[in-house]
Amino acid sequence: MSMTEAIIQGIIQGLTEFLPVSSSGHLALYQYFTGNNSESGALFSLVLHLGTLVAVFIAFWGSIRPLIQELFCMLGDLFKGRFSLRTQRPQRRMLFLLFVSLLPLALTFLLKDLMQGVAADGNIIVEGVCFLVTSALLLLANGCPPGRIKAGHMSYRAAAAIGLAQAVAPLPGISRSGSTLSTGLILGLDRKFALDFSFIMGIPAVIGALLLDAKEILGGGLELPLGVVLAGLVTSLVFGLLAIGMVRWLVASQKLQWFGFYTLLLGVLALGIGIYDAAAGHPVQAAVIALFAK
């Protein structure tokens, strides 16, 4: 992988991780049409996710810091025998909601090999279907009236539903931010709260995925020059911050339907090309690879 390819993938990851269009789906399309479907490509995607993870910490630190402080206070209460479920400060209730939203991730761990196999199956049919699912969620959420529910009145059932949307997001074409945000809006959450909840609940999921593959990455599984890795990392971080600012504006101005139309078009194209390529021996993929090689 060249430095230019690393930067391009970093830009794709940074923008599409937070814009509701699926970063994994766009990276899968990029890797499909450039012939970069190797294990190193999958591992490099994890490096890019690390860059966007840092971007979330920077952009949402004002909301994350009180939750970290409350977590230590809760652990202190447990240690001192003063913990009670009856007395819940807003930050503590938010922690409980986040915990419930993470429970469906067990499904992701059980189906990890299947989901990674889909991303490296040498076709983009599943990606096309998943883009269509993302489109349906975005268009449905955009048509819902503005909600008013915040952490104080959000049910644990709603947290579990948003967590389930996150659990299937590793499928390429399913937007993590799009599916979780849309689910929250459909359930009547306040727009700003739905956005904060969606982004913050993604932090443990990304950290867990990185830790699971840390042995491969640190053990030399990622056979790429350090400069290439850093280029992708920094690029995904910078463009991730830009995308977070953009998605905040989009949610506030209720313009999610444009991304619903975009993923609808992308899904139809990916599905059509995927079916044609599978039947005809991948002529479109070969033509695009040859074009990139010039």
Model pLDDT, residue 245: 92
Nearest to 129 by CA among 22, 283, 12, 255: 22
What sign does the dihedral 103-107-113-116 (CA atoms) show? negative
| CA atoms of 271 and 164, how far apart (whole Å) | 25
Per-residue b or e along 56-86, where b marks 16 or more CB atoms closer than 10 Å to that residue's CB: beebbeeebeebeebeeebeeeeeeeeeeee
| CA atoms of 255 and 263, how far apart (whole Å) | 14
Model pLDDT, residue 260: 93
Q: Which amino acid is at 126?
A: V
User: What's the number of domains the chain is made of?
Assistant: 1
What pTM does this model have? 0.83
| CA atoms of 80 and 78, how far apart (whole Å) | 5
- 214 pLDDT tier (thresholds 50, 70, 90): low
| CA atoms of 288 and 230, how far apart (whole Å) | 27
Q: What does the block give as tokens for 187?
A: 């359930």
Q: Which amino acid is at 101?
A: S
pLDDT in tens, 139-171: 999 888 888 898 888 999 999 999 999 998 888
Host domain of residue 234: 3-80+88-293
Using DSSP's 3-state secondary structure scheme, residue 149 falls into strand
Q: What does the block give as tokens for 157?
A: 């059932």
| Mean pLDDT value across the chain | 84
220 has a pLDDT exceeding 60: no
